[in-house]
Structure 1
Amino acid sequence: MTYPEHIRPVTVTRDRNGFWTHPHYFQSASDEATRAEFGDWMHRHNLTCATRWMENDAPPHVIAAWEKGSTCISDWQPSAPAGEGWFIGSIHDTEDGPVCIWLREVK
């Protein structure tokens, strides 16, 4: 399996709070990224993505702690989408809560 240049699976080493971003992951040109910008980036790198929201995927104790103000989500191990070739692009916080962005090459 081949991956686009610079966007290959790498070892995920999450920070003390459980967040991590691939070193070659999408970076917006401005403070507010748009879906179109992200879509263009994925197209340029021949990638597709899938999301896992912590609120729908994490163990109840992680969700409960987050809702009580904890900033640590390291006990959440995001579920991979069905199929082969997925790798983590980012585990980060958003206005809607923590999310894991899975990436894979478009066949």
Structure 2
Amino acid sequence: MLTPETVNRNQDGDWTHSELLKFGGDREYIPKREWDDWCRFQGIETANRSMESELDEDHPAFMRHFDDCEPGSVGWEPEPPGPEWHMLSIHDTEDGPVVIWYREATSEVEPGND
């Protein structure tokens, strides 16, 4: 399983785990099957959240991004779904900022065995 890393967000408020950077490189899109295989290999499950679904429209981070057209997730401090979840990435997309959380997989699938 991935080892949690210290989250040091950049000037845009974005950050990505080093192992995800190695896997995805600078690709904007990873096909679902490839993503699922990588997660299974890592022994993790993920949960995605978007700024748009988590923040009210009058939140400063929401207004900065969507109203002022300043890209990034500055000012958004998303909470993990639970104590066992760790940040995998927080970054901007075509639909606005998203955060990806991960934790050790709870399914019976053996990590790295396909």
Normalising by structure 2, we get a TM-score of: 0.78
**Distance of 1:35 and 1:51 partners within structure 2:** 14
Structure with the larger helix share: 2
Show the 5 A alignment for 1:38-57: 38-57=35-54
Q: What is the one-letter code of the residue matched to 1:43?
A: R
Residues matched between the structures, number: 101
Alignment of 1:4-83 (within 5 A): 4=1, 7-25=2-20, 26-27=23-24, 32-58=29-55, 60-67=59-66, 68-82=68-82
RMSD of the alignment, in Å?
Answer: 2.0
Contact 1:62 1:75 in 2 (8 A): yes
Structure 1 residue 31 displacement after superposition: 5.7
- TM superposition shift of 1:30: 6.2
Please list every run of at least 4 consecutive aligned residues from structure 1 whose deviation after the TM superposition is greater than 3 angstroms.
28-32
TM-score when scaled to structure 1?
Answer: 0.83
2-structure distance, mates of 1:50, 1:64: 24
Change (3 A) 1:90 1:29: closer
Percent identity, aligned pairs only, is 34
Alignment correspondent of 2:112: none
Query: Residues 87 and 75 of structure 1: is their aligned pair in 2 closer, same or farther, counting only changes over 3 Å?
Result: same
